[in-house]
Amino acid sequence: MKFCRHPFEYFRVKNTDGDIQACAWTNDKAIIGNLLRQDLPEIWNSEAASRFRKSVTDGSFTYCNKDACPYLQRNELSEAKDKAVITPTEIPAFIQIACDETCNLCCPSCRREVFIPTKQQKANMEILHQKLLPYYKYAKHINFGGLGEVFVSPFYMKILENFNHENPDTIISFETNGILFDKDHWNKISHLGNYDLRVNVSIDSLYKPTYDYLRRGVDKCSGNFEKVKGNLKFMSDLRKNGEIKLLSICMVVQDNNFLEIPDYIKYGIYDIGVDRVVLRPIWQRGSFTEAEMFVKNVRNPAHPYHVEFLRVLENPLVKHPQVMMWSGDRMINRKDIMVVGARVDLLKQLFNLGIRSRSLSKYLKERSITKICIYGADIVGQVIADGLSNDGIIIGFMIDRSVRSYKDYKLLRLEDVKGFTDVDAVLITSVLSFDSIKDDVMCKHSIDEQKLLNLESIIKELADTTI
């Protein structure tokens, strides 16, 4: 039977509330204890920890998030050969401290708002650190960060600056966005070079326009891209000198950057000399709506660019042994596959026209349409609403029979609409039933037929003019 060793040696401080996981890729039910209320041994030997361990020894993997776990995704779990491996270490061998989300970036894939810890959260972090302090020396691997930036977190920096562990074989690892990994910051933690130091730089693109779009600075400061590129060279030298023992770069693969994957790999392996290039899937961390997630996630077989994505994966560079494809190429979480058939075609046409290159909004503006009603609030309507409102078209309201809310847009059923005088046009996105919707609207309301726009016809018109 397949088996995973993680729950038998891993202790992760998930948040400032003190929740503890025995693996980062588990679902919310897999909290094994709380370090603010309990001590480490009590949590480690708790019933909840045993329950979680049992779920991997009985093969059910009940608490595992199968879409996030690289071992499950890539079918890499091995068999449990003897009893020793299914016994937990006395004290966690791997401690991950991931409770401080402080960061100098505000990437859309990660958060909607800047995280600033409250006084209470800072106090909690200190308590958590003090409670872990006696156990660091038993750990073989200590990891910092994960959901924050170590160099801007006073909490992480204090631990790293004062790190003094007897065993030089201890693995110290952290993830950084690289903006502050310069000589000055390195000087503060250079003693970590005496250990098995592993650094993962999360950088979603090595192409400035994409980087600036995906990695937004908290202070809107420009120049981050140039800093990261310079710092990557600095880190590369540290790797060559042996102070960093393992250097990797990591891209969260999404609609905006997947075409850059081969160049990204080439630059990482051949120009910078990293040990590993990690291609990570984009996850729903709560910062995206379903529609935004759909647009981002090219791994979804229903995504209009999925075929192109698979084509990119055929590039020999992607098969390079130093590339870690975190999760294979396809979704296994079928419930995320949301649209089929005609809707995919329509989305593909929209994407190809470049909803972000403003063709649809330009079309409307040229006809003096600046405020619109969108009929149909499924994935297509949502993608269009986001695209148009980004381009300055006002979404007066949306109409849908079953979707009750989407972001802050006003959503109504047709029966509840008072009239259309307030908007310049109604864009009907439900192409298959345009005529029946048109009849329905005109039967219930007095509206000029010219005000009813058929999305499919507009797309055709735009495609013809583009050609």
Q: Does 6 bind ligand SF4 (CB under 6 A)?
A: yes
Among residues 268, 261, 289, the alpha carbon closest in space to that of 109 is found at 289
Calpha distance 102→294 (Å, rounded):
27
Among 18, 92, 148, 387, binds ligand SF4 (CB under 6 A): 148
Select 105 or 298, whichever has its Cβ closest to ligand SF4: 105
| CB 334, min distance to ligand SF4, A | 18
Sign of CA dihedral 374, 113, 260, 297: negative
Q: Select from 37-45, 56-64, 367-375, 432-440 the region that touches ligand SF4 (CB under 6 A).
A: 56-64
Q: Which stretch binds ligand SF4 (CB under 6 A): 104-112, 135-143, 162-170, 370-378?
A: 104-112
- 92 residue type, one letter: P
Candidate list 17, 61, 131, 396; residue touching ligand SF4; CB under 6 A: 61
Tell me: does residue 300 bind ligand SF4 (CB under 6 A). Answer: no
Helix or strand run (H / E) with residue 268: none
- Residue 4, interface with ligand SF4 (CB under 6 A)? yes
Site string for ligand SF4, 12-51 (x = CB under 6 A): -----------x-xx-------------------------
Stretch that binds ligand SF4, among 102-110, 228-236, 273-281, 310-318 (CB under 6 A): 102-110
Kindly tell me the burial class for residue 13, based on how many C-beta atoms sit within 10 Å of its own C-beta (0-12, 13-18, 19 or more): buried
Say if CB 145 and CB 180 are below 8 A apart.
no
- The residue among 117 and 148 lying less far from ligand SF4, judged by its C-beta, is 148
- Would you give the distance in Å from CA 428 to the centre of its chain? 32
Q: How far is CA 141 from CA 93, 118, 173, 322, 354, in A?
A: 6, 29, 8, 22, 46
Helix, strand, coil share (%) of the chain residues, nearest 5: 45, 15, 40
| Geometric angle at alpha carbon 351, from 349 and 355, rounded to 5° | 115
Which residue stretch of 3-11, 193-201, 304-312, 424-432 sits at the interface with ligand SF4 (rule: CB under 6 A)?
Answer: 3-11
What's the min distance (Å) between Cβ of 116 and ligand SF4?
13
- Nearest residue (CB) to ligand SF4, 105 versus 425: 105
Q: Choose among 222, 281, 212, 290: nearest CA to 251.
A: 281
User: Given the complex with ligand SF4, which of 239 and 280 has the nearer CB atom?
Assistant: 280
- 3 in contact with ligand SF4 (CB under 6 A): no
Taking residues 201 to 230 in sequence order and writing x for each that binds ligand SF4 by CB under 6 A, - otherwise, the string is -x----------------------------
For residues 411 and 417, what is the distance between their CA atoms, to the nearest angstrom?
10
> Of 111 and 371, which CB lies nearer to ligand SF4 in the complex structure?
111
The number of C-alpha atoms within 13 Å of 247 and in the hemisphere containing its C-beta is 24
DSSP assigned state of 198: E
Q: Which residues bind ligand SF4 (CB under 6 A)?
A: 4, 6-7, 23, 25-26, 56, 61, 64, 69, 71-72, 103, 105-107, 110-111, 147-149, 177, 202
